[in-house]
Amino acid sequence: MNEIKHVLDKGYVRLTNVMGSDLSVVNSARVSYDKESSELSDGDIRLIKFLAREGHTSPFRHATLQFEIYAPLMVARQHWKYIVGSDHTMDSWNESSRRYITEEPAFYIPEVDEWRSAPDNSKQGSGGPLMEVLEYHEMGELQHVYEKHIEESMRLYERSIELGMAPEQARLFLPAYGMYVRYYWTASLQSVAHFLNQRLAHDSQVEIQEYAKAVHEFAKEKFPVSIEELIKPKG
């Protein structure tokens, strides 16, 4: 399976594996009555709607999705905090490590008009475009400083490797939050839906919303009935 959706400037979400379908949810729910469907019927769809509406979530844990995700560290760590804080146990996470690899670092560089201001009434989240607050030359200066910071960090990182420093320490020279990391995330359909309900919300961080949108597209392609019932938009 090699389905991929591009996110941000260099990131992506790739669907690598799927186990089950909407029919898996139905048959998992009906096993207690020793019944099984071979094709999804109107009655099966009504059952999925009932399960989702009444919070009978265990049948949705008998289907899984596996993703390869390439995202800035600030997105990956927010995603990981969701996994740790979730009460769903059917999740697995494996991430590439610069202790063992020295692939070319890549960094998330927003366009000048993509930087956001701090919100007026909150300690987290974003306000409107920063360009509406700063003068054009001030915005350009910030963009230039960020790009130069990455260039200098890369120079120090590469030089430390040349001098023989262990990669696990040389990575300290790299600016962490904007650096892309690659990881595999395997989760039950219920857990994926829970993630989407949290991260598709309008008040979640914009960058992780973009990754959630990609995950949502894959999930609804593979589980159209279940995702329609499990995802409850919050604006």
Could you tell me which residues come within 8 angstroms of residue 169 by beta carbon, excluding any fewer than 6 positions away?
Answer: 160
By annotation, the residues acting in catalysis are 199
The tokens describing 161, both together, are 């490797």
**Alpha carbon of residue 70 to chain centroid:** 9
120 and 11 in a common domain = no
Does some domain include residue 128?
yes
**Beta carbons of 217 and 194 less than 8 angstroms apart:** no
Does some domain include residue 107?
no
Look-up of token digits 């090699």: 2
Does some domain include residue 7?
yes
191 and 75 in a common domain = yes
Asked whether the whole model's pTM tops 0.85, one would answer yes
At residue 235, the pLDDT reads 47
- Render pLDDT for 159-193 as a digit per residue (tens, 0 to 9): 998 999 888 888 899 998 899 999 999 999 999 99
